[in-house]
Structure 1
Amino acid sequence: MNAEPLLPACCSALDAHWPLPATLPDTVLLSTRFDPSRLLGDDFARAAIEPPPSIQRSVAKRQAEFLAGRLCARAALQQLEGISTVPAIGEDRAPVWPAHITGSITHGTGRAAAIVARKRHWRGLGMDLENLLDTERAERLAGEILTPPELQRMAAGPRDQVALWVTMTFSVKESLFKALYPIVRQRFYFEHAEVLEWTPEGAVRLRLLTDLSSEWRSGTELDAQFGMQDGQLLSLVSIPA
C-alpha cells in the first residue's frame, strides 16, 4: 500500500469547511492556506505533484498557488471518486478533469480551493476567489467590469457597498466563465453577462447578454452565490445536470 504524499511546508492542512451560504449536494470542496515564503525546493516532489514547465519557470508565488490548488483538487477527487489524479493544464489553460467529472480550482492571496462533482449531478462548476477591493479602486475599475445597467444599479445604492458590489460582480463573472466555458467551448467576457440582483446573504442572479450556443442564448438566467472570509470573496456558479 502506497503512503500518502506528504503535505508541503508551504501549505496548511486541507479544510473541508463549506464557506458559502448554500451547500451543494454531491460535491466535494476543499481549501488550504499557503505561504510562498515557505515554499521549499522539494515541495512538489514531497507532494508527489509534477509541475509543468511553465510552473517550473515561475516565481515562488505562482508555484505555491499552483501547488496548493492542485493539492486541493487531487484530495477532492480522492474523496469523491477514490482516484489520485492531479488535473493537468490544458491548452486553454483550464484544468483537465476526468471525462465524467466537472470541477474548478481557484486561488487568491494565501488561499486556494477546489470543488469537484460527477457530471451526472452537476454539468458545470465555476469558483473564483478575489481580495475585496477598496472603495476607491472599485470605483476606478467599475467601468471595465460592469455593464451600463450594472453601473446604474451601483450608483443608486449606498457608496459603502460599492467595493462589495464591484468585487462580487467581477468574481461571479469569472465563476460563470469557468462553469460555462467547458460546456460551450466559446470565450466570453465581462460585457457578455450581467448581475440582475444580489443579496447581502450571498445569493446572486445572472443573465447572459450574448448567444454562446443553441442552448445557452442571450437572456438565459443562472444562479450564483458568494461568501466573505478574512477580506476575501469566494463565488460559485453551479449548473445542475
Structure 2
Amino acid sequence: MNASPLLPACCTPLDAHWPLPTVLPDTVLLSTHFDPSQLLGDDFRRSAIEPPPSIQRSVAKRQAEFLAGRLCARAALQQLDGSFVVPAIGEDRAPIWPGHISGSITHSTGRAAAIVAHKQHWRGLGMDLENLLNPERAERLAGEILTPPEMQRMAAGSRDQLALLVTLTFSVKESLFKALYPIVQQRFYFEHAEVLEWNEQGEVRLRLLMDLSSEWRNGTELEAQFAVQDGQLLSLVSIRA
C-alpha cells in the first residue's frame, strides 16, 4: 500500500503484509512502525486526526502510539469500504467502530496495527501486540495471568518456553476480551478464560470459564492464532458471523 500524503514523519508507510499464520478472508489488516521522538506538535492536525483530551495531555509515547493506531484503522476502513472514519474512544476506552464494522487496534513498543471487517463476515475481532516478557518477569507475573491448570501445564513444560507461554497467555486473553466484549458488553478478566493448548505453528485453543451471555457460556471453546517477530508477539481472536 502506498504511503498516505497525511502520514507523519514518526510513522513508516503503512504495511499490508499479513503477519499471522492464517489469513482471514474479508478482512483488512494494516500496520506501521512509529518513533515517538519524531512526533511533531502539529502531526495530529496534519494527519486530520483529532486527539481526545486524554491523549492531548499525555506523553509523546502515548500520543505517537494513538496516532499510529488510528492511522492504521482509518486506512484499513478506507480500504475495506471507502469510508474515511477515525474510531473515537468510548467511555470504556475501546474504539468506537461504525455499526456495521468489527475491528481491533493494538500497539506496543514502536509498532501499531489495526484489523477491520464487515460484521456480516466477522462478528468479533480482537488483536493484541505484546513485547515478549523476559523469564524473570514472566515468572513473577504468571500467578496473575494463568489459571491453576495453566500453572500446572507451565510447571510440567520446558523452562525455555516459560516466557513465551506467559506472554502468549496474556496476549490471547487480551485479544479474546477485545473480540467478545463488544458482543457481550460484559467485562471479564484473566481468570475467566484459559489456554487449553497451543503449538509452534501459531494455533491456540481457548475456553471460557464463566457465563458471559446465553450464547457465550462457561465451557465455550474458541480458536486464536499468534506469531512472534522481532521480540514481539501478535495474537488474534476472530469470531465468524
What is the TM-score normalised by the length of structure 1?
Answer: 0.98
| 1:193 correspondence with 2:193 | yes
Question: Unpaired segments of 5 or more residues in structure 1?
Answer: none
The answer to whether the aligner puts 1:75 opposite 2:75 as a matched pair is yes
1:128-147 superposed matches below 5 A: 128-147=128-147
Conserved? CA contact 1:125–1:236, under 8 Å: yes
CA distance in 2, matches of 1:72, 1:95: 13
Shift of residue 136, structure 1, vs aligned partner: 1.1
| SS state at 2:80 partner | helix
- For 1:131-183, what per-residue CA distance to the aligned partner results, in whole angstroms no more than 9, with x for missing partners? 00011111111000000000000010100000000000000000000000000
Aligned to 1:8: 8
Match of 2:150 in 1: 150
CA distance, structure 2, for counterparts of residue 176 and residue 5 of structure 1:
34
Q: Which runs of 4+ in 1 moved over 4 A?
A: none
Counterpart for residue 106 of structure 2: 106
Question: Which residue does the alignment assign to 2:20?
Answer: 20
How many matched pairs? 238
Deviation, structure 1 residue 6: 1.6
2:39 counterpart of 1:55: no
Match of 1:237 in 2: 237
Q: 2:235 is paired with a residue of what secondary structure?
A: strand
Alpha-carbon distance in 1 for matches of 2:122, 2:6 = 31
Unaligned runs of 5+ in 2: none
Does the 8 A contact of 1:5 with 1:48 survive in 2? no
RMSD: 0.6
1:5/1:46 contact within 8 Å kept: no
Separation in 2 of the partners of 1:50 and 1:134? 36
Matched with 2:204 is 204
Letter in 2 for 1:193: A
Question: One-letter code of the match for 2:89?
Answer: I
Percentage of matched positions with identical amino acids = 84
